[in-house]
Structure 1
Amino acid sequence: MVPIALVLCAALAGGTAMFLRRHRADASDADRFATMHGDHARLEPLWSIPPFELQDQHDRPISLESLRGRPFIADFIFTQCTSVCPTLTSNMLLVRDRLHDRDVQFVSFSVDPAHDTPAVLSDYAARWGAVGDDWTLLSSSSAQLSDVLAGFRVAARPTDDPSEPIVHTNLFFLVDATGTVRGIYHSDMTSDLDALVEDARVLAAPRVGSDPVPRTIASLGCTGCHASPAIAPPLGAALGETRMTDDGRRVTVDAAYLRRALLDPRADVVAGYPGVMPSYAGVLSDAEVDEILDQLRSMTDAAPPATPAALAIDPVCGMKVRVTSEAHHARHDGEDVYFCAEACKDAFLAAPAQYERHRQ
């Protein structure tokens, strides 16, 4: 069992407002609440979540009442997100892995009612290698989503930016067995993730018969990102392949490169991809890193020879995009135009003249 943006103004307990900037919390208020410092002790009850009933990835009804009895960790995502959601989900699954011996549930609310049906969420869970029944992904109608967001005292809204069509919170919420919020944590801060694991251990009972699952490419949810050409390079790249980094350097895919990619992924971000991979330093033991590297080598041996990909510029958002058959693209004025995401492609096709000046 293993591995699962703009945060908008949200009023928190005691009438205090929490203001969050895009992908990062405001240090004056939100950090104090998110880690329960300052005026609030760790695990102090904050507020009760109002009742809800939604559909999960198996098209089953899930309500707050059905979740009662065990604590759960919640976040907000959408499946077409290529900005903060990959990191958010990766860290959710890492927290899940660290809590394998505790009876904790994990709940991801989609903020995209129009697209994220139960079937889409089921595919998303499978892409992330989710096994077991402790990770629930919930779809909703617009009205239901509005009520859930209000219940968690956050917000999500559509934007005119095709590269980030929905902005939403990137916080984790720890909810106890009675449905009361007991902690709020930044998903991109190691200290907060450690605090979340520690606090969840206090609230959750031991899980009976819970042996740790070996950490593998599948169990860590690596394919959640690496199966998408818009988010990450394919895992089956050949050893010896040369890659261009986003700062213009050429690096060779060898054992040292793969180890760096696991432990210091920001060191060599490949051009055309967002630098969203979390670091596994301090998460994987040396032996586990070696095992992951062996798995990558075996995938490399089975992969067909890699063909170097050219780079194109998404005319809508300006992001570098690798020119491959899997990339989002469209034919326009006799040439192929490449995009980082389907939303950018749709925006371009709706008004191509608006983006002509950005094409290269």
Structure 2
Amino acid sequence: MKKQNYSYIGISFIILLFGIIFIPKILNRINNDGVVDKDRHNLERNDTQNDTLAFIGNKKVPAFQFANQNGDSISNADYKGKVYVVEFFFSTCQDICPVMNQNMQKVANAYPGENVGIASISIDPTYDTPEVLKDYAQAYGITHPNWNFLTGDKEEIFQLSNEGFNLYAAEGMDEEDQFQHSGYFALIDQEGNIRSRIDENGNPIIYYDGLSEEGVQMLIEDIEKLL
């Protein structure tokens, strides 16, 4: 009989201990919508990571110097102190370029001031002279003071695209497919570093999709983080 009483006492002690340890945690989770202190700490850390833009690589954007649509010499130094966006395109492109530049206009409209710039670099500089690019800018109604359409040495431009930014650009195989290039935009900070949003897995997206509304909206939001 005494042995049985000891068993009851032992079971009661275990139940009491369980209540002391676990019931406060359960109540805490309920009162905080299912998030306990440790979980909340993780969420705050993740939110902080999402607000921080990653640096892509350890090097700055390579130096470049080209002519813009007004015939003025423009270099990367002209963008120092500004947040700016870089794209590669060509004026006779009828495929992705019109979509890219319509979306780029959304970026320009969101930041019309002097602290944000855009560099649209032609991969067909033989045809895209400053005069052609000026007509192109006027056709799109572009008036942003820091949006430069740039042209120059083809070899330098292709090297800048493929090696400097790792954005694909190449000559096509025939007349119908004269040039091939990426539809992505690169975001550059005031010191010339390529910057990028971090995805939900903690990895940088590296570049922004210039063909999608989502990509352009992310770019607009992330420019604000650098200003």
What TM-score, normalized by structure 2, do the two folds share?
A: 0.68
1:129-159 superposed Cα distances (whole Å, 9 cap, x missing partner)? 1114121110011222133112111231111
In structure 1, C-alpha distance between the alignment counterparts of 2:167 and 2:147, rounded to whole Å: 21
Larger radius of gyration: 2
The structure 1 residue matched to 2:183, chosen from 159, 170, 184, is 170
Q: Is 1:45 the counterpart of 2:68 in the alignment?
A: no
Quote the offset at 1:68 in angstroms: 0.7
Taking a change above 3 Å as real, the CA distance of residues 142 and 102 of structure 1, as seen in their structure-2 partners, is closer
In structure 1, C-alpha distance between the alignment counterparts of 2:217 and 2:61, rounded to whole Å: 24
| Superposition RMSD in Å | 1.9
CA contact (8 A) 2:123 2:169 kept: yes
In structure 1, C-alpha distance between the alignment counterparts of 2:153 and 2:91, rounded to whole Å: 16
Quote the offset at 1:189 in angstroms: 2.1
The equivalent residue for 1:91 is 103
CA contact (8 A) 1:156 1:166 kept: yes
The equivalent residue for 1:28 is none
Q: Is 1:193 the counterpart of 2:216 in the alignment?
A: yes
Taking a change above 3 Å as real, the CA distance of residues 114 and 102 of structure 1, as seen in their structure-2 partners, is closer
In structure 1, C-alpha distance between the alignment counterparts of 2:190 and 2:133, rounded to whole Å: 25
The equivalent residue for 1:104 is 116
1:224-273 superposed Cα distances (whole Å, 9 cap, x missing partner)? xxxxxxxxxxxxxxxxxxxxxxxxxxxxxxxxxxxxxxxxxxxxxxxxxx
Q: Is 1:203 the counterpart of 2:226 in the alignment?
A: yes
Task: Give 2:111's aligned amino acid.
Answer: L
Q: What 5-or-longer segments of structure 1 have no aligned partner? A: 1-39, 205-360
Which protein has the bigger helix share?
Answer: 2
Q: Does 67-76 or 148-157 show the bigger shift?
A: 148-157
The SS at the match of 2:54 is coil
CA contact (8 A) 1:52 1:64 kept: yes
Quote the offset at 1:99 in angstroms: 2.5
User: Which 4+ runs in 1 deviate beyond 6 A?
Assistant: none
* Structure with more relative contact order (C-alpha pairs < 8 Å, separation 6 or more): 2
In structure 1, C-alpha distance between the alignment counterparts of 2:67 and 2:112, rounded to whole Å: 25
1:91-120 superposed Cα distances (whole Å, 9 cap, x missing partner)? 000121122367210110101021111111
Q: What 5-or-longer segments of structure 2 have no aligned partner? A: 1-48, 197-206
1:266-281 aligned within 5 A: none
The equivalent residue for 2:91 is 79
**Number of residue-to-residue matches in the alignment:** 166
In structure 2, C-alpha distance between the alignment counterparts of 1:43 and 1:161, rounded to whole Å: 40
CA contact (8 A) 1:72 1:174 kept: yes
The SS at the match of 2:55 is coil
The equivalent residue for 2:192 is 179
Taking a change above 3 Å as real, the CA distance of residues 66 and 100 of structure 1, as seen in their structure-2 partners, is closer
CA contact (8 A) 1:157 1:166 kept: yes
CA contact (8 A) 1:57 1:136 kept: yes
What TM-score, normalized by structure 1, do the two folds share?
A: 0.44
In structure 2, C-alpha distance between the alignment counterparts of 1:58 and 1:186, rounded to whole Å: 28
1:45-94 superposed Cα distances (whole Å, 9 cap, x missing partner)? 11311111111111111111121110101111100000000000100001
1:291-336 superposed Cα distances (whole Å, 9 cap, x missing partner)? xxxxxxxxxxxxxxxxxxxxxxxxxxxxxxxxxxxxxxxxxxxxxx
Task: Give 1:157's aligned amino acid.
Answer: A
In structure 2, C-alpha distance between the alignment counterparts of 1:96 and 1:66, rounded to whole Å: 17
Q: Is 1:134 the counterpart of 2:134 in the alignment?
A: no
In structure 2, C-alpha distance between the alignment counterparts of 1:200 and 1:136, rounded to whole Å: 18
